[in-house]
A and B are shown apart, each in its own frame.
Chain A
Amino acid sequence: MTAVKAPAPEQQAGGGLVTAVKGRLQQLLAFASLLVIYAFFSFASPYFFSYGNFTAILFSTVVIGTLAIGTTFVIIAGGIDLSIGTGMALCAVMSGVFLTKLGLPLALGVPAAILFGGLMGLINGINVALLKIPPFIATLAMMLVAEGLALVLSDSAPIYFNNVPGYTDISTGNLIPGVEFPNAVLILLAVALMAGLLLTKSVLGRYTYSIGSNEEATALSGIDVRRWKIAIYCFAGLFIGLAGVMISARLGSAQPATGMGYELQAIAAVVIGGTSLSGGKGSIVGTLIGALIISVLNNGLQIMSIPQEWQNVILGCVILVAVYTDRIRKKEA
């Protein structure tokens, strides 16, 4: 056997820098398109470009953004989570149950609702990692279970938080005195920072990438892939819980039937942000940009009085363009 000549090392010199730039390219592209869209609406409508509308856009990003951050972990690990939308509604209902029906104090009830999301994630993780049910099916089942449970536990009626002082402040209050900047956005930024740190610096994050890159190689490297997959789904579940708290705090009520559809918006945000659905690649910054693009589009189109139906058409096209450019970029790399 004569053998292949290896690529000369000189050809690869400077490859480190090139890879570094290429790795960030999708994020840069996404960020550039966010700016372009923002600039477009600023010129197209006199009402778009203002501080008030800026914070409004950020505020409307919170729920999708929170869900998308958790889902980013799952998708980078090569999985998918369809249960986040109705799961969020269930966690909102649970928050209502803990705070109004059981009368728990805020400092207990809110963490309990978030942990309930973690429990859902744990069950998803067990179904996927131990019972080997494909993630799509396992979380589809959880999506239906959560939708039903939310209605059962709330008797199909909204639960109002009128008697829970301070609950809506979690979302709409202003922690920074004298500045109109909603707490919800601060919370989103804080969890995004934490998630970004965990994804890039922690063992959990490193294994998330490893499992998504090559699950078999990771397992053969002596890493208990099943355990870490459960941990990843469970961790992502905490974000379902948090989103449930955030949406109910914003509305002042837990709406048991509102969750469906959020999962697809969140997955769209993740994908627009450059995370690969085949796993192994992605970032929290990208996901945040993806979520912002969706919000800016929704907000701008609304301000321009374009009907809701058309907004979805445009969002669908944006997803196609985003994923297609990602494909082209990968082919060139």
Chain B
Amino acid sequence: MEKILTKKEFPSWIKNLKSFNVYGPVKKDALWEYERIQDPDKLDLNFKNTVLSPKKIIFPQREVILDFNHKKKGKPEIQEALPEETKNVIFGVRPCDARALTLTDKVFEEEPGDKYYLRRRHQTVTVGLTCSDPPSENCFCTSLGGSPHSTEGLDILMTELNHKYYVHSFTDKGRELMKAASDVFKNPSEKDKKDLKQVHKESEKKIKRQVKELSKITDKLKGMFDSPFWDEESMSCLKCGICTYLCPTCHCFDISDEVLSSSPLKGQRVRTWDTCQFPYFTMHSSGHNPRPDKSSRLRQRILHKFSYFVDNYDDYQCTGCGRCISKCPVDIDIIEVLEKVKDYE
């Protein structure tokens, strides 16, 4: 379904989505984040990249797996804690972040599937927004097979055409969402269709950064596990979790039991994001650590994204959102690292 929606009418669409929890980019001080909104005016579609991608709604940083009450003697109680059944819609999803969801899908859908992730994923409609102007200096989606108007992982793609949006839905979920307010949508004219093509074409040209010959890099990485390259590249790494926590494709997590000291037997088993950049991620209880230093951990991040994931799921585990580059406090630049791999002797 392809329709036109004026910017003025956009809030009416949202107001019609009464049965949905509506999420979208909201500006707070100098940053944008995806938040649940009540008031459509809070939603800011003229946004630069959010700090965290919408992954945080589908795969929240903290997910309760189960509640337990462990009796000293007798049978403990275990209560499964699946996410609430709701209907969610996320507006303003960047095409790179939507593609990233198709990658985390691969991990969590793989048998045996992950009920928590899949429930949240299936009950969420993703409404994308074409990046007519790249939202970050470090966007490089086109190098990874994506584009500023890619539709992968999206139910709907909106493209800004001056005072209106071109709204295109590709799935039943998407069409249903548009039908919820069918009177606000108009049919597109031939000019609109022409304009859309033009905006899409222009948007690709505006992506300044790129990695060339990725498949060559992937091949080369296979022989670089023991290379001193990783020592050199990781010298300035601080061992923080920014690159991975901000990444829309990183899926690693920890599972731990949370109790209060006042009731040590009653609590919750939770899943929280974890990162290969932290030393204790791989540390055995004996203290032995297969990835003991930052060089092996940078290597893991790069190889996971551009070698292991390619072998396991036939795709790069990166969609070129550029967050890890923009936010690294010491300017470790994944594009530069990859380019250096290519030229490394």
- Decide whether A and B are members of one complex: no
Q: Which residues of B contact A (CB under 8 A)?
A: none
Q: Which residues of A contact B (CB under 8 A)?
A: none
